[in-house]
Chains A and B, each alone.
Chain A
Amino acid sequence: MNLALVKYNAGNTQSVLFALERLGITAQLTNDADELMAADKVIFPGVGEAGNTMKHLKSLGLDVILPSLKQPFLGICLGMQLMCRHSEEGDTECLGIFDLDVRRFVPRNHEKVPHMGWNDLSVADHPLLRDLSDPHMYFVHSYYVPESKHSLASAEYIHPFCAVINKDNFYAVQFHPEKSGAQGQKLLENFIGL
């Protein structure tokens, strides 16, 4: 298994590397186009702010490389949001892999923003989500992907939103599987098995 982790200024790279290590996988941390294209699987982590991060991705040429990849690809948290068309955060044009727009949570009844903590998922029957009994994951985010036809799992905070999306070889999760206990670990294992 040759698993590449996209190297850029994402905040949670080390945590994802450790989570993969717990599954017995040593990932290759790289932003080299050839290495990314040659990998069996690619994980695109992310913690941070959309605008600055997109600038950084462009400076590395990753805005062209990432959408062209053909192997199973998993975006995490900000990674998921950057795979969409546009984000309200910093009015940012993103990678456009999903034709979706990322919005900021607007409280209706004094709900706190960020949405921080463990929340339930309603999951579709899909190999990425198999064997998750009572699925719940750890979220930290202020922006969300609205419900769409690409959804494999949804969660509810203020209103329903996409927790997992999929299109062709591209998968993305809003929560942090690397920090979501045994269930998160199972999801990563499922991704590796795709």
Chain B
Amino acid sequence: MLKKRIIPCLDIKNGRTVKGINFVNIRDAGDPVELGALYAREGADELVFLDITATHEGRKTFVELVRDIARHLNIPFTVGGGISSVEDVTPLLQAGADKVSVNSSAVRRPELIDELVDAFGSQCIVVAIDARLKDGVWTVFTHGGREPTDKELFAWAREVEKRGAGEILFTSMNHDGTKNGFAVDALKELSEQVQIPVIASGGAGSMDHFKEVFENDSADAALAASIFHFKEIGIGELKDYLKNNNIAVR
């Protein structure tokens, strides 16, 4: 049976993880390779590394880092942040990344998705969508949730699928950071409207929230950052909890 996936997300700035504290069993929690390897050992199914560096030098550091991650990690990982062309993706995949995620640049120029799919195949193109619910409408935002767009979540998700994306990573801005649970209703709707896998993001605060989002197939995978980095939930105990609640996990 296909397993539901748990995906820790690491923010990277100038080659270092931004969040993450108090890991007693690794030497350097700021080292993305060490932290990634720890998560892999604990049972993470995939990892996401988001480069939030803005500078050109930072980008080069990131490609080197991706190579280092691929050398040491034996589970799949996605990289994202600042990708806006085929030329941006080539060095990342060549360095050993399995998938790349695009967000703002795909909203600005949707043809980018087609170009990436043609060049690298659907399986490695993840489209990340940030959206906020207001007055009954889910509006897509870009630039880390700062800029509203004229796109509506479900219509944009269907377009993204039609253009060949392999997966959708949906972050509810209403839920992100609240620790009150994922946007289960919107995720369920999204999962029914598209035929490609959906990753839930934003709102995880307890193990029960993961159970809730996987029940009724609201999502195929769930992503979280701070609750893992701050050790509020251990990946091993989360997997055990889900197993005990009859959710298929590895």
- B217 and chain A: residue at smallest CB distance: A110
Report whether over half of chain B's contact residues are helix, strand or loop; otherwise say mixed. loop
Most buried by A among B94, B121, B124, B220: B121
Contact code string B1-23 (vs A, CB < 8 Å = 1, else 0): 11111000000000000000000
Interface size on B, residues (CB 8 A): 32
The verdict on A115 contacting chain B, using a C-beta distance below 8 Å, is: yes
**A11-19, A31-39, A161-169 - the one binding chain B:** A11-19
- A115 and chain B: residue at smallest CB distance: B2
Contacts of A61 in B (CB 8 A): none
Contact A184–B195 (Cβ < 8 Å): no
Tell me, rounded to whole Å, the shortest Cβ–Cβ distance linking A107 to chain B: 7
Contact A157–B2 (Cβ < 8 Å): yes
Most buried by B among A48, A113, A117, A136: A117
Contact B70–A14 (Cβ < 8 Å): yes
Question: In the complex where A114-B122, A176-B76, A180-B74 touch, is A14 in contact with B95 (Cβ < 8 A)?
Answer: yes
Total number of A-B contacts with CB less than 8 angstroms?
A: 89
Contact A114–B166 (Cβ < 8 Å): yes
Contacts of A60 in B (CB 8 A): none
Query: Complex formed: what's the CA distance from A107 to B158 in Å?
Result: 17
Which of A12, A19, A116 is the one whose CB lies under 8 Å from B167?
A116
User: Which B residues fall within an 8 A CB radius of A?
Assistant: 1-5, 40, 45, 70-71, 74-76, 93-96, 98, 120-124, 166-167, 192, 195-198, 220-221, 250
In the complex, besides A47-B124, A117-B2, A118-B3, 17 extra interface pairs with C-beta distance below 8 angstroms are A18-B70, A113-B195, A113-B196, A114-B166, A114-B196, A116-B166, A116-B197, A117-B4, A117-B45, A119-B1, A119-B2, A136-B250, A140-B98, A140-B123, A142-B122, A179-B75, A181-B74
